[in-house]
């Protein structure tokens, strides 16, 4: 029973992804030699917090949810992983374990590159390295924002943040809210599921948002932003 791989000829065009555009033929070859491609099915873990990380994942298709786990069963959602993004970059250069878990929200076509290959390419190809640095930088900045939210904002601001964040993905992924449970939304805001449910209702009553089954539409972007700002 062979693993779920696509053919090499598929791969050539896979690497057409923007971030691999600057690679030379040799470098593409290097990536190809140390890559494997895996289909993660909805619900599969892409990474598990604490396990050894000897590779980087690059999501080509599908959406995933990245989160951290505490000692209890409590989880905190960090972001939605979209096609074209790396997972586990951070873990590869510094710590050698993944510092977060992630789970497929839809089937995800992913390819895995061993960290040595990535490191080698960065050494050779500054432009590629720059792209990686940009990602780190942005991720860093997002982490600071998240930290601020968690430290200083309360329920209303947090859920507003969450809604604005998820809504920002809706243009490209209209089904995004369907993929998330109320608990997932609550775990983005870091509040209890029940509080999230109540707040959503209350936001709806105030005409800020509209609830349709699992889907959520933002009606008053301005006010929601203001709530987020005020915390």
Instruction: Identify the CA nearest to 162 among candidates 99, 105, 79.
Output: 79
Applying CB under 8 A, among 14, 15, 30, 37 the residue interacting with a copy of itself is: 37
Do 84 and 113 contact (CB within 8 A), yes or no?
Answer: no
Three-state DSSP at 115 gives helix
What is the CB neighbour count within 10 angstroms for residue 5? 14
Terminal alpha carbon distance of the chain = 53
User: Which of the choices a copy of itself, DNA, none does residue 22 contact, using the CB cut-off of 5 to 8 A by kind?
Assistant: none
Question: What is the C-alpha to C-alpha distance for residues 75 and 52, in angstroms, rounded to an integer?
Answer: 20
> What values do phi and psi take at 102, rounded to 5?
-155, 150
- Is residue 149 within 8 A of residue 157, CB to CB? The reply is yes
Binding mask 45-74 for a copy of itself (x = CB under 8 A): x--xxxxx-xx------------xxxx-x-
- For a copy of itself (CB under 8 A), the number of binding residues is 30
In the set 60, 112, 155, 211, which binds a copy of itself (CB under 8 A)? 112
Least distance in angstroms from the C-beta of 192 to DNA: 4
Q: Choosing among a copy of itself, DNA, none, which partner's interface includes residue 82 (Cβ < 5 to 8 Å by kind)?
A: none
Binding mask 138-167 for DNA (x = CB under 7 A): ----------------xxx-----------
**Structural tokens at position 37:** 């491609």
For DNA, the binding residues in 26-55 under the rule CB under 7 A are: none
Of 51 and 154, nearer to DNA (C-beta) is 154
By CB under 7 A, residue 195 contacts DNA = yes
Q: Could you tell me if 22 and 131 are in contact, meaning their C-beta atoms sit under 8 angstroms apart?
A: yes
Binding of a copy of itself at residue 40 (CB under 8 A)? Answer: yes
Query: Cβ of residue 89: shortest distance to a copy of itself, in angstroms?
Result: 15
Give the residue from 71, 27, 29 showing the smallest Cα distance to 49: 71
Q: How far apart are CA 87 and CA 125, in angstroms?
A: 20
The residue from 41, 148, 221, 229 that contacts a copy of itself (CB under 8 A) is 41
In the complex with a copy of itself, which residue's Cβ is closer, 69 or 167? Answer: 69
Which residues here bind DNA, judged by CB under 7 A? Answer: 154-156, 181-183, 190-195, 197-198, 200-201, 211, 213-214
């Amino acid at each position: 029973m062979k693993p779920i791989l696509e053919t090499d000829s598929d791969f050539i065009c896979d690497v057409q992804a923007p971030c691999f555009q600057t690679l030379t033929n040799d470098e593409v070859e290097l990536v190809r030699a140390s890559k494997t491609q895996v289909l993660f099915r909805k619900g599969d873990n892409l990474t598990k917090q604490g396990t050894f990380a000897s590779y980087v994942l690059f999501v080509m298709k599908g959406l995933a949810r990245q989160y951290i786990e505490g000692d209890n069963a409590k989880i905190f959602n960090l972001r939605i992983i979209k096609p074209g993004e790396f997972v586990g970059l951070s873990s590869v250069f510094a710590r050698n374990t993944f510092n977060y878990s992630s789970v497929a929200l839809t089937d995800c076509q992913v390819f895995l590159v061993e960290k040595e290959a990535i490191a080698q390419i960065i050494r050779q190809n500054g432009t590629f390295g720059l792209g990686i640095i940009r990602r780190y930088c942005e991720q860093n900045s997002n982490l600071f924002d998240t930290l601020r939210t968690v430290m200083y904002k309360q329920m209303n601001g947090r859920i507003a943040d969450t809604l604005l964040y998820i809504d920002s993905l809706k243009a490209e992924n209209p089904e995004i809210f369907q993929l998330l449970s109320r608990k997932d939304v609550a775990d983005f805001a870091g509040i209890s599921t029940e509080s999230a449910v109540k707040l959503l209702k209350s936001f709806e009553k105030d005409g800020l948002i509209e609830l349709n089954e699992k889907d959520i539409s933002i009606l008053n972007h301005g006010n929601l932003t203001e709530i987020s700002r005020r915390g």
